[in-house]
Chain A
Amino acid sequence: MKKGYFGDFGGQFVPELLMPPLIELERAMDEILYTEDFQNDFKRLLKDNVGRPSALTPCPNLSKDTGVNIWLKREDLNHSGAHKINNTLGQALLARKMGKKVLLTETGAGMNGVAVATAAAMMDMKCLVYMGAKDVERQEPNVRRMEVLGAEIIPVESGTRTLKDAINAALRRWIATQSDTHYCFGTAAGPHPFPLLVRELQAVISEEARQQFLDRTGRLPDAVSACVGGGSNAIGAFHHFVPDESVRLVGVEAAGSGEEGCHNSAPLNLGTEGVLHGMRTRLLQTDEGQILPSHSIAPGLDYPGVGPEHAGLQQSGRAEYVTINDSQALNAFKLLARREGIIPALESSHALAWALENADDLQGQHILVNLSGRGDKDMGIVAGLI
């Protein structure tokens, strides 16, 4: 397979001025990432600062209600509240070993921004966060958290004033500041080597979950379900199960309101092939190749593209990708809170909703749901809706 590709997807579609820092990063991955020294430091940080291994939690009440044995991988219990910290701590550590002084990133819902700001504070690095002006308005608590952590927030006024525009702006900034700055890409997307790097750092999720599941049940799950926006939590949850052909890998995209013609965040199901943000992947776009606005009730899924490895897994048939709409996700959100005492992120609620909506077909099966983050951040969105 061509370097940096997953099937037909991936690549490095960036201005030439970004190739040197991408080559530098790829070289650092080869020379640093897999060394014992780096891996020991990374594992120590994950244990001491993130709280890993995260728990594997059964859901006895929901399982009784539905007839499906539902298990949760609890990334919501991580420090800073989501799976994002696995990636950002790893990239920050790598960047520091590369001699970089600044962590640059983008954020939509704010969770990646909070995680990068956290990592930057821990590593004594400066942190710049690009965020769509619309997201700055609707994710105010996370903006405050980032500021408290010492990050500089730069609102982006161009385009749709959301995540995709924040990525454009961050890439532009990186062109200008590449000598001392690492772009801490927030998801398993973008130009090579980011999809690979983020996958390697998030694979700790499935590495732990697979062993925990075997230890607890003596078997593998029948399916692993994870929500897919850019796709980092899902690729992390899938990775160590990919060779286990008996395990269904189910990526859950956001269908928005679910009505025909509505904005959605489901490029794997409703998009077409194209190139954006440095990668060939599936995109929400017009027939003329202009990028369409996306929508989900879960801000972290609100992205018109998807990481190329997911497009490759879909192409090969190893993983299946389905959609869940806003109201189905809200129902799952409510049920997990009221039946198990766990408030999930709206993003993760999509993954749980797949198991609940398909309970009739999953009777007696063991389903592992990756609970990628906690729902504290979503209180403003769900107020009055459940």
Chain B
Amino acid sequence: MMTSILTKRIREANAQGRTALIPFLPAGFPDLDRFWTELEALDNAGASVIEIGMPFSDPVADGPAVEAASLHSLELGVNLDYILDGLIERKGRFNAGLLLMGYLNPVLQYGPKRFAKRCEQAGVSGLIIADMPADESTELRETLDAHGVSLIPLVGLNTGPERMKLYAECGNGFCYFVSVLGTTGQRDELPAEVLQKLQEAKAAFDIPIALGFGIHKPEQLEELQGLADAAVFGSALINHINEGGTCTSFMERWK
């Protein structure tokens, strides 16, 4: 399999001696027009990969900030066509790798084959489906693979060696390591066992490891040096925008 652009972008940042940044922005947030401006701002501010949230009515893995943004986007009429049409229109404008994150049901109703094809057309290189463990993912993964879209493996603190191996065998792009047993959202301290578990993940995967859930301040990246190749942050960015900030002002702190 060809090396994913997601892997390449993360490795490029690592080669410059820094942790790659993966901001998460829910599609249509904070509004239908500004979303596209903010997306380009993230790209210009040095994001290695941008994770775009696909809204779902019942986002069981998300914390309050992401859930509220997601439900707001649905009220504004955001759907998969809004996202994919908008990205197709802007194809070639982004240096960052593009990733969609959401839940299985909207993708199923859209049609996995149609979805995968349009992701390819839109320059989307990866997909995170929060409610689909490896055990259920074979068919979708094969469909996505045919269009060069990576299904990103998600592992966490309670992922044992057997399941880590399962994900390592089928994962592509990068591995998303969930830092807490909980939902998305800001936390002041990472659990102590995170560093130990990250070492296990580093040993199991030959793709980069991105740490997500709970990351909200640049200082947290320092303790991750050498263990996490990338850091994902969403709730902190959403809160910053809700408080009147922009993606540009948020990203300045992280450079």
Contact = CB atoms under 8 A, between A and B. Distances in A.
Interface in B20-69: 56-61, 64, 67-68
Contacts of A178: 158, 181
Interface of B: 56-61, 64, 67-68, 71, 74, 79-80, 103-110, 130-136, 154-160, 163, 167, 178, 180-183
28 contacts: A12-B135, A13-B104, A14-B60, A15-B60, A15-B130, A16-B133, A16-B156, A17-B156, A19-B163, A20-B159, A158-B71, A171-B60, A172-B182, A175-B61, A175-B182, A176-B182, A176-B183, A178-B181, A275-B103, A275-B105, A283-B105, A288-B79, A288-B109, A288-B110, A289-B106, A289-B110, A290-B74, A290-B106
Given A13-B133, A14-B133, A15-B154, 8 more contacts: A17-B158, A159-B58, A168-B58, A171-B60, A175-B181, A288-B80, A289-B56, A290-B74
Contacts, number: 105
Interface string A168-182: 100110011010000
Nearest to A168: B60
A285 interface: yes
Contacts of B59: 168
Interface residues of A, number: 33
A285 B109 contact: yes
A15 B80 contact: no
Given A159-B58, A285-B105, A290-B57, A13 B183 contact: no
Contacts of A229: none
Contacts of B79: 288
A275 B154 CA distance: 19
Nearest to A157: B64
Given A20-B158, A175-B183, A176-B182, A15 B109 contact: no
Interface of A: 11-17, 19-20, 158-159, 164-165, 168, 171-172, 175-176, 178, 272-278, 283, 285, 287-291
Contacts of A175: 61, 181-183
Contacts of B110: 288-289
B168 to A, nearest CB: 13
Contacts of B68: 158
Given A172-B182, A288-B80, A274 B105 contact: yes
